[in-house]
Structure 1
Amino acid sequence: MMLSLSSADVSREERFDWFADLVGRAISPTEIIHDRSGDFAADASVLGLGPVQLSSFSYTPLRSRRTPGLIRRGDPEQYHLAVVTGSPMWISQQGSESGLVTGAMVLWDTSRPYESGARDDGSPVRSTILQIPKTDIGHTLSNRIDRLLARPLQVDSGIGAVLAQYLSSLAVHGDELAADDRGRLGRIATDLFTSLMAQHLDTAARLPPESLADTLRARITHFIDENLGDPALTPRTVAARHNISLRRLHQLFEGRSESVAATIRHRRLGRCHSDLTDPRLRHLPVYAVAARWGFASAAAFNRSFRHAYGITPTQLRRQSGA
């Protein structure tokens, strides 16, 4: 489950200390520096994704640093990749400084000292941080990844855009995920992270074929999730959007629990099931729920739903009281 916290639940005098303690536990032991003459506010959420963690923060601009002493006190031995929005922030590590970053990503290593800060332009800093154990990163990348520390990485195209959107979606919908789904989605996040690092290091050609296939499959799965409401979403359109042949697409899903078409159908049915049991959506007729998630035929939807769940959509809604 996702843990959500807010400084609004803490007395004004304790908010800064509360946030400093939270950062130390959720990220790593860190010295936090803030001019206490003004009000301090922060919100946070933490989502476990197997060995991977996703932490989202919104906070009044401040400065922080991680010293050798703090590293000795506690080191999760992770790479942290932050998608930064809101007030621009900077970070310096290993002789590199990012400059002011917003609308982009930045990477740091918890095992090395760093300093960071933010420009106070009247809005909070917002960051979604992917925390990946170093042991999950292959040697080909880990031996060279230092050159990417404290460097802005763009999110407006390519794998960077896919990863940023993926993390944003997880941060929004994390509380809806089952435990098994969280572990699987964490592996996808790791694959996308690895591909992004490889792209920036020009080592994609050295990655093993299975890693490249996993990354492409992760991109395709994310694309499917983002386009379930489009009735034109089919294996052929998925292949075309990823510049691969239909045959190559089917090869990517060979040996998996579901084919591409079955994946689309299963995920659409899952969204419909969730909507039909949501009291807030009781005003929507069953056929409207089906259409909302890409089912063009009400009859085909009813057959698929009954085959998957053993009852009709109407029976489910009646049983759930929605």
Structure 2
Amino acid sequence: MLWFAALTDYKVVRKLGEKMIETVFRSEDLPAGERFDAWRAMAHWATAPLEFRSDHEEDFPATLRLLELGAVDMFTASFPSLQILRTPKLIKQSDAEQYKMGFLLRGNARLSQMGRDVTVATRELVLYSTWRPFDIWIDSGRHDMATTVAIRVPRALLPLPSAATDQLIARRISGRTGIGALLVGLVTNMIANTSPYQPSDAPRLGTVLLDLLTALLAHEVDADRFLPSDTRQRTLALRIRSFIQQRLGEAQLTPSSIAAAHHISTSQLHRIFQQQDLTVSAWIRSERLERCRHDLTDPALHATPIHVIAARWGFSYPADFSRAFRAAYGISPRDYRHTALHNTIDETHR
């Protein structure tokens, strides 16, 4: 924690209360002339010793958030255009041998490592390592600030041979389809809102991220045989849940169709959900009800009939929907909508 001790003068906020452990840095809390040095110190502590260069060093607007998830860390940062260097000298100073998988929410980037150069746009994943020199140039493009997200994983935790993983260093990996999309989606949702999570959730979330990252890399180099069985099962469960959530409005969404889409038997599908003390049908129904509940609170949908909202999320019969909604929330859909929209109007006029 030496870096954190050195950062106390830079008004770093470390949230250790009831919610997830989260470290937050905002350069706007500091005088303009101190911002770049504070950013450099914070980034060193949160990631690894690095060298930074920027045309905005005299006044460097930046934010950084670090989430500690057991053995895995995740951080997101926003800043103007910036060059980031990891030199042989810095590696000698400190190297915990970590992989980083990063992507951009705004801007574009170029990464050089192991004699390779790759450019990435938003939601394109790229892997790099801390025990080799690298050069990253991040450009905010048409935005005032670029926004990056990265997962940091100790090298020893990845169960893949180094020769296989090295094939993916400084290679573009899609974050829009397949497992890559699952990983980007999960990370994006987590950084958007950490309030639902408790500190006790952190190791579990770290395991989920590690599973997805490992499965993604194994898939990219056709090395699935190296995946531990637990990782395979957890990743399959995540893929199935994502598949279901994308198709909640389809009437033909059934256990048999879900199992067929994932090349497993319906009995295997049921076993996966039994581990969570749920049936497949019960989980689908709860997800559909939650989508309906959300839409009923949306002022933009106040004129949409309740039965239309229900049908949109897979409830073909209004009476069945009303019974299921009342059983889940203790109130009729009509009364729930009236109360929610009335409260929204009251808050707007306060």
Q: Do both proteins adopt the same fold according to a TM-score greater than 0.5, normalized to the shorter chain?
A: yes
Deviation at 1:82, TM superposition (A): 0.4
Equivalent residue for 1:129, pick from 125, 147, 150: 150
**Identity fraction in percent:** 31
Structure of larger gyration radius:
2
Letter in 2 for 1:101: V
Structure 1, gaps ≥5 residues long: none
Q: Indicate the residue corresponding to 1:300 in structure 2.
A: 324
Contact 1:60/1:125 (<8 A) preserved: yes
Deviations along 1:218-268, whole A, 9 cap, x unmatched?
A: 22234456667x485654554355454433322333544433334445667
**Farther-moved stretch of structure 1 (190-199 vs 214-223):** 214-223
- Which residue pairs with 2:91 in the alignment? 71
Moved more, 293-302 or 74-83: 293-302
Q: CA RMSD in A?
A: 3.7
How many residue pairs match? The answer is 307
Match status 1:200 vs 2:211: no
Instruction: Mark the CA change 1:267 to 1:7 in structure 2 (over 3 Å): closer, same or farther.
Output: farther
Q: Is 1:191–1:218's contact at 8 Å kept on the other side of the alignment?
A: no
Matched AA of 1:299: R
Shift of 1:23: 1.1
Could you tell me which of 230, 241, 260 is aligned with 1:221? 241
Task: Give ranges in structure 2 of 5+ residues lacking alignment.
Answer: 1-19, 316-320, 345-350
Which of 195, 199, 224 lines up with 1:179 in the alignment? 199
Q: Is residue 54 of structure 2 the alignment partner of residue 30 of structure 1? A: no
The 5-angstrom pairing of residues 135-214 of structure 1 reads 135-138=156-159, 140-214=160-234
Conservation of the 8 A alpha-carbon contact between 2:32 and 2:58: no
- Partners in 2 of 1:264 and 1:111 — Cα distance? 45
Which deviates more from structure 2 when the two are superposed, residues 23-32 or residues 231-240? 231-240
Distance 1:240 1:3 in 2: 43
TM-score (norm 2): 0.72
Describe the SS at the equivalent of 2:147.
strand
Question: CA distance change for structure 1 residues 295 and 135 in 2, over 3 Å: closer, same or farther?
Answer: same
Match for residue 121 of structure 2 among 91, 94, 102: 102
Structure 1 counterpart of 2:130, one-letter code = T
**1:199 partner amino acid:** H
Q: 1:14 to 1:148 in 2, by over 3 A?
A: same
Match of 1:45 in 2: 65
